[in-house]
């Protein structure tokens, strides 16, 4: 009995394994197996590397399913998700749904078929690219997840009516969503430079009259944080809708050096459905001119001090000379300085010349001579 049960379980496991590896899926009947082959999703349809781009006018996408295992008929559950699903209705670009397609199953004698509705919503202008996903589930098999990208609208469009400037109604930085030359990275020679004495800059974002509104994400800055550490504040610092009422964005530069270094700055304002704003400019931290003046100041101090000392010495020497002083007495602390240079001289005979000296009389009995030897005194 136990052997039969074990055999049945083995056959069952083997059967499920066959089912899992028997699934092929394609987006056309003649391309079944190019999306999923032998139960495994192709690399170009996986979550990390989806390469299929469904265009704006492609309002539905069909998945044709075939299994070489005759007992398998359909998946137990299907789930779908898209990148916009958690956004509010006024921000969504897509309506998505999945339904079984019985007509296609009968027509092509398929194991299963599903139609994915992916209708782009009318947003007037702009565009976006969204990540879509459908996952098929069946018992005792790994889920099969299929991923692709959906394009809605026209990507890369600039947002007409969007203005950015240094006052509530101006557009020195951007006009109609397009950067002015001084803030366009392509024209670096004419780039805007924030002077060293300007520690904070305030700019204003607004839409022109009768141009609607636009959604933006939180602005951020790209720069060399070893030189400068900018901080953003103001009503435009938080994500939201931009309309005819100007929003303020304050940039506090917080320079970390003061040697006159000029640092490159990118202010990025992301517009999810339009071309992003990436304002390019420079900030000078400290003043090279100020540093040069500082050096000249100290050079003047040193020169003035040296000249004063020289004038004092000349006046002192002249006064001492008039009082009849001579030599070291002419200079301040002359005798003390003379003492520092005083040395003792030892005279030595010239080489080859004997010294004249009186030698003791060796016949004098009173003379006692000690001779040292290694064994004692003789």
pLDDT given for residue 246 in this prediction: 96
Say yes or no: 85 and 145 in one domain: yes
Say yes or no: 139 and 166 in one domain: no
**H-assigned helices in 94-171:** 102-108
Do you know the residue count of the chain? 378
What DSSP character marks residue 50?
Answer: -
Say yes or no: 60 and 113 in one domain: yes
Say yes or no: 181 and 279 in one domain: yes
Say yes or no: 130 and 246 in one domain: no
Q: Which residues span the domain enclosing 65?
A: 21-153
Domain boundary among the residues 286, 314, 349 is at 286
From the list 39, 40, 2, 5, the residue with the least C-alpha distance to 19 is: 39
Is residue 196 assigned to a domain?
yes
Q: Which helix (H) or strand (E) holds 30?
A: none
| 141 touches 16 (CB < 8 A) | yes
Say yes or no: 173 and 211 in one domain: yes
Mean pLDDT split into 10-residue runs, the chain, 378 residues = 44 60 94 95 95 91 92 90 89 92 94 95 80 94 95 83 95 94 83 94 94 91 94 95 95 94 94 88 80 61 82 75 68 64 50 49 48 43
Residue 340 and residue 167: Cα distance in Å, rounded?
75
Say yes or no: 325 and 251 in one domain: no
Say yes or no: 98 and 149 in one domain: yes
Say yes or no: 148 and 29 in one domain: yes
Is residue 375 assigned to a domain?
no
pLDDT given for residue 322 in this prediction: 72
Say yes or no: 149 and 166 in one domain: no
- The total of structural domains in the chain comes to 3
Say yes or no: 61 and 26 in one domain: yes
Residue 28 tokens read as: 């056309």
Is residue 221 assigned to a domain?
yes
Q: Which helix (H) or strand (E) holds 256?
A: none
User: Between the CA of residue 121 and those of 71, 92, 98, 188, 298, what are the distances in Å?
Assistant: 41, 7, 17, 39, 70
pLDDT given for residue 274 in this prediction: 85
Where residue 231 sits, what CATH number does that domain have? 2.60.40.2170
Is residue 11 assigned to a domain?
no
Where residue 48 sits, what CATH number does that domain have? 2.60.40
pTM greater than the 0.85 cutoff: no
271's CB contacts (< 8 A; 6+ apart) are 126, 159, 162, 177, 214, 215, 216, 217, 277
Residue 162 tokens read as: 């969007």
Say yes or no: 132 and 194 in one domain: no
pLDDT given for residue 122 in this prediction: 79
């Amino acid at each position: 009995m136990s052997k039969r049960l074990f055999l049945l379980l083995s056959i069952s496991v083997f059967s499920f394994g066959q089912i899992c590896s028997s699934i092929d899926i394609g987006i056309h009947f003649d391309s079944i197996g190019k999306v999923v082959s032998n139960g495994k999703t192709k690399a170009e349809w996986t979550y990390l590397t989806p390469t299929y781009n469904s265009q704006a006018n492609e309002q539905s996408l069909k998945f044709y399913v075939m299994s070489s295992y005759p007992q398998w008929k359909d998946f137990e559950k299907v789930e779908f998700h898209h990148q916009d699903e958690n956004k509010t209705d006024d921000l969504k670009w897509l309506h998505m749904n999945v339904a079984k397609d019985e007509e296609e199953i009968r027509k092509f004698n398929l194991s299963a078929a599903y139609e994915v509705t992916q209708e782009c919503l009318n947003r007037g202008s702009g565009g976006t690219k969204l990540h879509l996903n459908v996952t098929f589930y069946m018992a005792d098999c790994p889920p099969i997840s299929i991923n692709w990208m959906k394009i809605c609208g026209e990507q890369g469009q600039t947002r007409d009516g969007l203005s950015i400037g240094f006052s509530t109604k101006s557009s020195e930085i951007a006009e109609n969503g397009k950067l002015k030359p001084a803030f366009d990275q392509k024209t670096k020679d004419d780039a805007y430079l924030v002077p060293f004495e300007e520690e904070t800059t305030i700019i204003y974002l607004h839409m022109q009259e009768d141009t609607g509104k636009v959604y933006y994400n939180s602005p951020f800055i790209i720069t060399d944080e070893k030189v400068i550490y900018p901080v953003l504040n103001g009503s435009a610092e938080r994500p939201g809708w931009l309309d005819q009422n100007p929003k303020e964005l304050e940039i506090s530069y917080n320079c970390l050096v003061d040697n006159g270094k000029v640092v490159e700055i990118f202010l990025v304002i992301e517009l999810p459905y339009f071309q992003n704003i990436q304002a390019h400019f420079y900030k000078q931290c400290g003043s090279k001119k100020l540093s040069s003046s500082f050096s000249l100041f100290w050079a003047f101090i040193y020169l003035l001090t040296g000249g004063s000392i020289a004038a004092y010495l000349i006046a002192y020497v002249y006064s001492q000379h008039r009082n009849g002083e001579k030599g070291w007495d002419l200079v301040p602390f002359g005798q003390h300085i003379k003492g520092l240079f005083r040395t003792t001289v030892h005279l030595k005979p010239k080489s080859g010349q004997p010294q004249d000296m009186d030698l003791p009389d060796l016949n004098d009995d009173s003379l006692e001579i000690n001779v040292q030897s290694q064994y004692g005194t003789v």
